[in-house]
Structure 1
Amino acid sequence: MALIRKIGVIGQGHVGAHVANSLLMQGVADELYLADINAQKLESECQDLTDSMSFYPHNCRVVNCGEKYELLAGCDVVVNAAGDVAKAAGDRDGELFVTAEITRTWPRRLVDAGFGGVIVTISNPCDVVATEIWHLTGYDPRRIIGSGTALDSARLKNAIARRVSLDQRSICAYMLGEHGTSQFAAWSAVNFGGKPLAELAAEQPNRFGFDLAQAEKDARFGGYVTYAGKGCTEYAIANAAVRLVRAVVSDEHLVTACSTLLTGEYGESGHYTSLPCVVGAAGVEEVVTLSLTEAEQAELHASCEHIKGNIARLTWWDEERRPSLR
């Protein structure tokens, strides 16, 4: 008998609804468990998804869980998309207090109900929320993944691709650090088919000698271009989340930038931030440490300081009572 892939999504706002639709469009889920505090919105999304079932690759059981987060305990992956995107109109830190408060409502209940899967959290500020989930539950931190700069790395690839006329999927490039304005491009690690950007820029300056600072800015602030006309971001973040879900349920050992608990990498520990990670059935199976330049390491430390500053603003954080590193 085939394994039944069970995926949960908490929050059916702009992003959560797109995550649910993308999961079904890509045929990732066999059973989809949806939760939200807005009963009518949740019922409407369930109706819309089941009305669309004839157009998806295969059937999927869609379960309306309301606020009964315990019903998601049997899921292989639970995606956290609960938040208030309107609070992020100015910057991603705008959701800090409201999202942190929302996050207090479900993780402990999920874990206490026997959940043994992987949590993929995309609510902002992503690194803070991922740290909070770990802190509140004591759950295996490698099984809590923040989408982090998986999305921003895709934006960087888009920015580079426009300049060099190559397929985005043929470019290896990472935005690292916070999923926020302190993130940075690891230009020293950018390569095309294994050939470093610096070498190509020296050989073909007209094509590869583009303005690095402007490309990095396009990646860092690309979400606000989207937000300006839509009042939200939807497609890219939903697909970034589903890419992580696919890596888990298919045990892909995918190398991607995402937010994970730091345990000494580059001298940082005790909070989540984005580095290249190997993602599979166990969550983050390995953290890839790059040979960052001194300047890039300084940017990483500055980004970590921003994350830690936000964490310190929240009442749930207690350095003395944080879970032990595993």
Structure 2
Amino acid sequence: MNRENASHRKVVVVGTGLVGMSYAYALGIKGLVREIGLVNRTLDKAQGEALDLNHCQPFVNPVSVNAGGFEMCRDAQIVVIAAGVNQEQGQTRLDLIEKNAAIIKETVPRILEYNPEPILLVVSNPVDILTHVAIKVSGLPPGRVIGSGTVLDTMRFRSLLSEVYEVDARNVHGYVVGEHGDSEVLVWSRVNIAGIPLLEYCAACGKSIAARKKSIEDDVRNAAYHVIQKKQATYYAIGLAMVRITEGVLMNQHSVLTVGTLMRGEYGLSNVCLSLPCVVGSNGIERVLASPFADDEEHALLDSASVLREGLSSIGY
């Protein structure tokens, strides 16, 4: 979508829980859209959220926020699926499979009834498996179904590295790939700071990464567990991660983001959704950037795919 078509930008959020509303709130502040639609199983909840967001109007760029049923999805460029059972303390994301897969199977046909060609952005957990289910249920081209994937994990990785080396996180480049979950893979072999490979940067500044690797990996993988333990849910950071994906689509930025997508031969993988660096533009996921990782990283990616395949098998895929 071109910038001049901003007046026609519309996003619908299905599921007005903490994640869905953190996203809607951040999206309104960002000024990327002119209309936000809210759909929720309990209409009063969606209507209340719409009223609250509309009261923000004097402080932000003009955006109309409306609540209703699935008819809200008509003419939306992006429909975000944030409906589902939340991860609780002691649970992994994979523990949520059966209930949330059933919600996807119910929700996606209702969306397509009013909008046959949306871009679906799936954020409900376990996001990789639910992205796979959404692709199969919708029949849409795989590139038009985007999982929020490891975009947030990647940003956590970069943020921690920026703290170690005292540089702006926007100048730190590195990726987390695979499952958005316990088997995710931090791709150390690709990390660079301002274009300088990490090991060269370490040598130049006198700060070795070797002693810090384990703690950084633990912090990235366990970040959600720590937040859930202290405040029951994560929502602000994932809301902003979703806005970043939305921006890539609506502004046709061709952004490289580690979103979840269906594997079609990359690293010998197929028929499973996981995250890799992907080019994201107005048509959704335009291409996957699959080039060699270090051997141990590729092995870990294959192991991550196996974990996800087990999850898919448990619900008949």
TM-score normalised by L of structure 1: 0.92
Q: Please give the residue correspondences for 1:173-322 in structure 2 after superposition, counting only pairs within 5 Å.
A: 173-206=174-207, 208-315=209-316, 317=317
**Residue 85 (str. 1) matches residue 89 (str. 2):** no
User: 2 CA distance for matches of 1:268 and 1:279?
Assistant: 21
User: 2 CA distance for matches of 1:151 and 1:209?
Assistant: 24
Q: Post-superposition shift, 1:261? A: 0.9
- Answer whether contact 2:84 2:124 (CA < 8 A) is retained: yes
- Answer whether contact 2:171 2:194 (CA < 8 A) is retained: yes
User: 2 CA distance for matches of 1:29 and 1:208?
Assistant: 41
- Answer whether contact 1:164 1:208 (CA < 8 A) is retained: no
SS at match of 1:97: helix
User: 2 CA distance for matches of 1:152 and 1:129?
Assistant: 18
Of the structure 1 ranges 44-53 and 182-191, higher mean CA displacement relative to structure 2 is found in 44-53
SS at match of 2:96: helix
SS at match of 2:219: helix
2:138 alignment partner in structure 1: 137
Counterpart residue identity of residue 13, structure 1 = G
1:147 alignment partner in structure 2: 148
Q: Post-superposition shift, 1:83? A: 1.3
Once the two structures are superposed, what CA deviation does each residue of 1:220-249 show, in whole Å capped at 9, x if it has no partner? 111222222211001110000011011101
Please tell me the root mean square deviation across aligned C-alpha atoms, in Å.
1.5
User: 2 CA distance for matches of 1:120 and 1:132?
Assistant: 13
Q: Please give the residue correspondences for 1:9-88 in structure 2 after superposition, counting only pairs within 5 Å.
A: 9-56=13-60, 58-65=61-68, 68-87=69-88
Percent of counterpart pairs with the same letter? 30
User: 1 CA distance for matches of 2:187 and 2:74?
Assistant: 37
1:320 alignment partner in structure 2: none
- Answer whether contact 1:74 1:116 (CA < 8 A) is retained: no
- Answer whether contact 2:12 2:72 (CA < 8 A) is retained: no
SS at match of 2:258: strand
User: 2 CA distance for matches of 1:73 and 1:150?
Assistant: 28
SS at match of 2:11: strand
User: 1 CA distance for matches of 2:46 and 2:31?
Assistant: 21
TM-score normalised by L of structure 2: 0.95
User: 2 CA distance for matches of 1:102 and 1:24?
Assistant: 26
Runs of 5+ unmatched residues, structure 2: none
Q: Post-superposition shift, 1:127? A: 0.3
Aligned residues: 313
Counterpart residue identity of residue 61, structure 1 = S
